[in-house]
């Protein structure tokens, strides 16, 4: 499995440049069908951008960039990305770009979201998954279509409040939000089958690694000026195996909370 991931990562390096802020993955594989109820959209949609055609175009672009996992592509197609961006950027919601969401954070490129999540799916993760860095809530919403239970932590209070309200509005009942220091994970909900970290630190916090189940997978960017996406597998109680993936560029992982 590790050799396959290395080969796929090498192929990706030839296709894509380092991703803009906040990143996410895909290869083919069997992924459990999402259990959450269908997304509800209505009068709150921005500028009529709930068009299935626009989402389909975005998904097609992500597919062209090499994402082949149909469950992940299907999840992208179900979530109205325009509801997670500021109205000033609503017309760009379905472009394959990272967009600012305030407080020095961004909503990640769609292909990056797909890249990271498909890695977990390919690794067999299907149930309890933790996201570190809720941001605007978009990635957590996509995760709700792929995993049985999604737990997400955000350190910036206004972003947490906004993301939680969006997730509630879409009736994503399998997503639980928490305001706190993401570097500490969510100990009371641990252990997790998978962890996705949406910001880069010089090293992955040991606290997060300790909250993985044995056999669990963590996907995170690592590094300061030069960052690389890595997959870490907890192979035993006291052992973690690392596989480097491609070069990326994320916002920095910070400790504490911001109100």
Q: Where are the domains of the chain?
A: 47-248
Counting other chains too, the contacts that 90-95 makes at CB distance below 8 Å and 24 or more residues apart are 90/46, 90/47, 90/49, 91/47, 91/49, 93/46, 93/49, 93/54, 94/49, 94/54, 94/55, 94/57, 94/58, 95/58
Catalytic annotation, residues? 108
Q: In this structure, are residues 7 and 92 in contact, taking their beta carbons and an 8 Å threshold? A: no
pLDDT band for 224, please (50, 70, 90 cuts).
confident
What is the rounded distance in angstroms from the CA atom of residue 163 to the CA atom of residue 220? 21
Span 137-176, pLDDT tens digits? 999 999 999 999 999 999 999 999 999 999 999 999 999 9
What does pLDDT average to over the chain? 84
Span 40-49, pLDDT tens digits? 433 344 444 5
| CA-to-CA dists, residue 32 to 113, 127, 129, 145, 172, angstroms | 18, 9, 14, 9, 17
What is the rounded distance in angstroms from the CA atom of residue 35 to the CA atom of residue 150? 11
- The pLDDT value recorded for residue 170 is 96
> Does the reported pTM lie above 0.85?
no
Beta-carbon neighbour count of residue 197 at 10 Å? Answer: 27
The answer to whether the bond into 15 is cis (omega within 30° of 0) is: no
The residue among 250 and 256 whose pLDDT is bigger is 256
Tokens 């509005």, located at residue: 169
Q: In this structure, are residues 198 and 152 in contact, taking their beta carbons and an 8 Å threshold? A: no
User: Left if phi > 0, otherwise alpha if psi is -120 to 50, otherwise beta: which for 78?
Assistant: alpha
pLDDT band for 77, please (50, 70, 90 cuts).
very high
- The pLDDT value recorded for residue 84 is 94
Given the candidates 3.20.20.450, 3.40.1030.10, 3.40.50.300, 3.40.50.150, the CATH classification of the domain at 47-248 is: 3.40.50.150
């Amino acid at each position: 499995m590790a050799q396959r991931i290395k080969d796929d990562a090498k192929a990706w390096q030839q296709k894509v440049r380092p991703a803009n802020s906040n990143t996410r993955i895909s290869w083919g594989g069997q992924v459990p069908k999402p259990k959450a109820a269908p997304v509800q959209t209505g009068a709150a949609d921005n500028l009529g951008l709930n068009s299935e055609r626009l989402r389909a175009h975005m998904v097609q672009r992500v597919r062209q960039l090499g994402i082949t996992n149909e469950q992940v592509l299907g999840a992208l197609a179900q979530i109205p990305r325009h509801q997670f961006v500021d109205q000033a950027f609503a017309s760009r919601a379905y472009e394959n770009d990272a967009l600012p969401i305030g407080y020095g954070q961004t909503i990640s490129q769609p292909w990056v979201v797909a890249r990271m999540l498909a890695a977990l799916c390919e690794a067999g993760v299907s149930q309890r998954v933790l996201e570190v860095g809720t941001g605007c809530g978009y990635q957590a919403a996509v995760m709700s279509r792929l995993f049985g239970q999604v737990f997400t932590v955000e350190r910036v209070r206004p972003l947490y409040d906004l993301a939680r309200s969006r997730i509630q509005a879409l009736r994503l009942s399998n997503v639980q939000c928490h305001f706190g220091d993401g570097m500490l994970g969510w100990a009371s909900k641990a252990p997790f089958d998978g962890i996705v970290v949406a910001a880069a630190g010089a090293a992955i916090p040991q606290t997060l690694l300790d909250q993985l189940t044995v056999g669990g997978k963590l996907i995170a960017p690592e590094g300061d000026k030069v960052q690389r996406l890595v997959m870490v597998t907890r192979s035993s109680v006291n052992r973690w195996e690392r596989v480097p993936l491609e070069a990326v560029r994320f916002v920095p992982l910070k400790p504490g909370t911001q109100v």
